[in-house]
Amino acid sequence: MANLTIVTEFILMGFSTNKNMCILHSVLFLLIYLCALMGNVLIIMITTLDHHLHTPMYFFLKNLSFLDLCLISVTAPKSIANSLIHNNSISFLGCVSQVFLLLFSASAELLLLTVMSFDRYTAICHPLHYDVIMDRGTCVQTATVSWLYGGLIAVMHTAGTFSLSYCGSNMVHQFFCDIPQLLAISCSENLIREIALILINVVLDFCCFIFIIITYVHVFSTVKKIPSTEGQSKAYSTCLPHLLVVVLFLSTGFIAYLKPASESPSILDAVISVFYTMLPPTFNPIIYSLRNKAIKVALGMLIKGKLTKK
């Protein structure tokens, strides 16, 4: 151990070092980041300014947009900057911060998506009791629990990952500090504790997914009983986008964390990570507003300046 150098920074080797590819990578990431930034900021503004949207569904949607902004801002700006200045290094403390904020955002977002599925279940399956079950206090409490859960998961994984020794290679084959890739370059022999934490987290995530599926089985069975086609269409327009977001977010996350770290990582590993760190924050505003009449109306009012006048 005396001959080994303690790592003080990491080199992010996610994409090609070719100059043209770096430019392409930075331009694509910048466009994706700006779209996510604009979409989520608009959602936050609309749901804050329009008093018609001060309902549980839009309260949770606003929280989701905050988390999406955090999720994509953790990875995208650093990756863009590294590509532009041709310097892929990140400090040890910067890497710790990335891991913590990424896990915090992703974990809190998953629990929030689970709460949102319960909100849709209550609204459609128990409409007469909806205002009682999903009152203001319940909404604030469940959102707070989601944020606290994200913080707890982030603290446990960050502490577990960086309590390991990094004294050999400092090359992370990813465009951000990702736990599986960090474990692959650790010189600690005992990785059982952190691997156990990952497996526990996967089980918790899977439980959230099962809960979401169960709620939507009940929702769709109730929707089928709605006599009017318009009523069915309205119910599907609020439920299907949410389900699509969950499937995209979880499936790519599971693949990234359960896939064994390869000794010669491919570009596919970085692409998979893009799907759960950058695409959900970009597509969430589009998915939730594309067929949502209330959001469209509020956006039109915002553009015309009527919301700000109010």
The Cα 218–Cα 231 span in angstroms is 16
Domains and CATH numbers, the chain: 9-304 (1.20.1070.10)
Each of the 310 residues of the chain gets a pLDDT tens digit; together they read 444 457 788 888 877 667 777 788 889 999 999 999 999 999 999 889 888 888 998 999 999 999 999 999 999 999 898 888 888 889 999 999 999 999 999 999 999 999 999 998 998 889 899 999 999 999 999 999 999 999 999 999 999 888 888 877 788 888 899 888 888 888 877 778 888 888 888 899 889 989 999 998 898 888 888 777 777 777 777 677 777 778 877 887 777 777 766 555 667 777 778 888 888 898 888 887 766 777 777 777 777 776 655 5
The Cα 294–Cα 88 span in angstroms is 44
Per the DSSP assignment, residues forming a β-bridge with 287 are: none
Q: What is the pLDDT of residue 3?
A: 45
Q: What is the pLDDT of residue 267?
A: 73
**CA–CA distances in Å: residue 63 to residues 17, 56, 236:** 37, 11, 22
Q: What is the pLDDT of residue 172?
A: 85
CA atoms within 13 A on the CB side of 5: 7
Give CA 154 to chain center in angstroms: 13
Q: What is the pLDDT of residue 237?
A: 72
The Cα 310–Cα 188 span in angstroms is 59
Q: pTM for the full model?
A: 0.87
Give CA 14 to chain center in angstroms: 19
| Ranges of H-type helices in the chain | 19-49, 56-85, 92-125, 130-133, 136-162, 179-185, 192-223, 229-258, 267-277, 279-290, 293-304, 306-309
The Cα 107–Cα 98 span in angstroms is 14
